[in-house]
Structure 1
Amino acid sequence: MDQNNHSLFADRVDRLEKNVYGSVKGQIRLALLEQDLREYCPEYTSCSLRILDIGGGSGRFARICANQGHSVLLLDSSEEMIRRVSESLVECGPVGNIGVTHQDFMEESCVFSEQFDLVLLHGSAEWMSSPEAAIVKACGCVRSGGYLSLLVFNKDRLTFKRGINGMLLQEKAQSSKKINTLTPPGAMSPDDIIKILTKYPGKMCSKSGIRIFHKFFRQGVSEQVLTPEEWLQQEQLYFRQEPFASLGEHTHIIWQAKS
């Protein structure tokens, strides 16, 4: 992660935990990510996997994986995030096998003695100095026949949202205000992500749009009209169906390395 972005991101740990992971949109995100893995990564439900969680944040998805019986190594460049996930593991008691390490994935010194059955790169590549380089490095961490679960903030969705809100011609350069609202500087088009992955031996197993409708329009149906369960049901109807799959807040792709 770029040092400036890392500093700004680390300062917003509380907001990230409350407004993303602890909210309805966070619940939708986690549920759809796990649904994709259950349906497109057969080993997720049938074997005990060795998982690398890059930029794992507060460890919510790592705990989901550990509860499924997997062994997880959570890596994060934020000291505060590592402190919090370590504390949460103590408070919640031992959950499966989760190890945590404070390290910047993009540093040359960040190397692993093994490749992993499943690599998670969820919402972190777009905060790094080179999202493409982060994706490439993550692919290299996947064992032969293993899987990469890649979640990236959708640049096309952001452009579409600007148009809906009458801001299509607004300056597109990253501003401090955008960083304050946790909009990452390295958002990517789904097409660009797919082009990167097709350069490497393997295949794309699935592509989903994570959070297509929830909180998309400034004016419209109030969030309180639907329960969290009803919101999730609506997202599940369309999250793999085009054109909706390409217009989610995030793009989720499961890629399998060639055996």
Structure 2
Amino acid sequence: MQDTNFDTLSQKFAKNIYGTTKGEIRAAVLWRDLEPVINAFSPKSLRILDAGGGFGFFSQKLAALGHEVVLCDISAEMLDEAKAQIDAAQNPLNITLIHSAIQDLSADELGKFDIILCHAVAEWLVDAKSTLQGLLNLLKPQGVFSLMFYNKEAMRFHSLISGNFDYVKRDMKVKKKVKLTPTYPLFIEDVRHWFTLWQMDIFCQSGVRVLNDYLKYHLPPGFSKQELIEMELEYSQREPYLSLGRYVHFMAKRNT
């Protein structure tokens, strides 16, 4: 089996990720979590690795603040889109593009980083645990690892409240795979255990889309998207909502 490559789907993927309300929620939650960490390093210019970062939504945002970013992706089409957006930016952005699987990244070639982002990648990996552990070789001793992954328990809960009981009984496996549905969703407790094994302390935990994916089809008059995003931010770090997020975001540092 192979890890998923989004060549041929790059435009659809980019539109689905950040061109929708779902994308706005993702961006709002992740930036709320990341911004204090970035500010804590201020005024230092950081080295940041965006591993599997696609067209570089956060790479561009961080580079615009004056940080040095390395954006890696296995999809050449995604990187072409990233280059087009970087070239069109109002001010020059210090972003290096690398066409590579993240398993092939080397600290000998790239050096080490203050922050590593790995967002919505793990759930497409055949062996997420080993791949993510390998990424940590590129992290500085006091560096921060920002991991967002697709939550298998939320996937099950959404199916249950939708009445798709046969699907749940099959452990959410289908004969015909939907191309943008992650192949290897992860359980929160498994990922927490990995961080313990890696001797890393999780200092920030958030659910991403803790409300949006469970909204009723018929919403009240005057329903506000902006208010939805505000509620997502308010409840994203509270249980039980955090654990029902379609994605979960962990930020961690080594404890040694």
Structure 1 residue 46: Cα displacement: 4.3
Instruction: Tell me which amino acid in the other structure corresponds to 2:8.
Output: D
Residue 92 of structure 1: SS of its match in structure 2?
A: coil
CA gap 1:21/1:95 in 2 versus in 1, 3 angstroms: farther
State the TM-score, normalizing by the size of structure 1. 0.89
CA contact (8 A) 2:103 2:135 kept: no
**Alignment match of 1:112 (pick from 107, 115, 119):** 107
Instruction: Tell me which amino acid in the other structure corresponds to 2:137.
Output: G
Residue 183 of structure 1: SS of its match in structure 2?
A: coil
**Alignment match of 2:193 (pick from 192, 195, 206):** 195
Structure 1 residue 223: Cα displacement: 11
Q: Distance in 2 between matches of 1:185 and 1:177?
A: 12
Q: Distance in 2 between matches of 1:197 and 1:52?
A: 19
1:219 to 2:214 alignment: no
Residue 254 of structure 1: SS of its match in structure 2?
A: strand
Q: Distance in 1 between matches of 2:24 and 2:41?
A: 20
Give the aligned partner of residue 102 of structure 1: 99
Give the aligned partner of residue 30 of structure 1: 27
1:137 to 2:134 alignment: yes
Residue 198 of structure 1: SS of its match in structure 2?
A: helix
**Alignment match of 1:48 (pick from 28, 45, 56):** 45
Give the aligned partner of residue 87 of structure 2: 90
1:258 to 2:255 alignment: yes
State the TM-score, normalizing by the size of structure 2. 0.90
CA contact (8 A) 2:52 2:71 kept: yes
Structure 1 residue 42: Cα displacement: 5.0
Give me the CA root mean square deviation: 2.2
Q: Distance in 1 between matches of 2:99 and 2:20?
A: 26
Structure 1 residue 231: Cα displacement: 1.8
Q: Distance in 2 between matches of 1:136 and 1:84?
A: 28
Residue 214 of structure 2: SS of its match in structure 1?
A: coil
CA contact (8 A) 2:86 2:93 kept: no
Residue 179 of structure 1: SS of its match in structure 2?
A: coil
Instruction: Tell me which amino acid in the other structure corresponds to 1:18.
Output: K
Q: Distance in 1 between matches of 2:41 and 2:231?
A: 25
Residue 185 of structure 1: SS of its match in structure 2?
A: coil
CA gap 1:224/1:162 in 2 versus in 1, 3 angstroms: farther
Q: Distance in 2 between matches of 1:234 and 1:95?
A: 35
Structure 1 residue 132: Cα displacement: 1.2
Structure 1 residue 169: Cα displacement: 3.0
Q: Deviations over 1:68-110 (max 9, x none)?
A: 2211000000010011101111122444311111001124xx3
Instruction: Tell me which amino acid in the other structure corresponds to 1:179.
Output: V
CA gap 1:87/1:151 in 2 versus in 1, 3 angstroms: same
- Bigger Cα displacement from structure 2, 125-134 vs 182-191: 125-134
Q: Deviations over 1:164-216 (max 9, x none)?
A: 01113313354464432x11111101111100011122311111001111133
Residue 50 of structure 2: SS of its match in structure 1?
A: strand
CA gap 1:104/1:68 in 2 versus in 1, 3 angstroms: same
- Bigger Cα displacement from structure 2, 169-178 vs 207-216: 169-178
CA contact (8 A) 1:148 1:254 kept: yes
CA contact (8 A) 1:37 1:44 kept: no
Q: Deviations over 1:216-239 (max 9, x none)?
A: 346342798213x22210101100
Aligned residues: 252
Residue 203 of structure 2: SS of its match in structure 1?
A: strand
Q: What are the equivalent positions in structure 2 for 1:119-130 lying under 5 Å apart?
A: 119-130=116-127
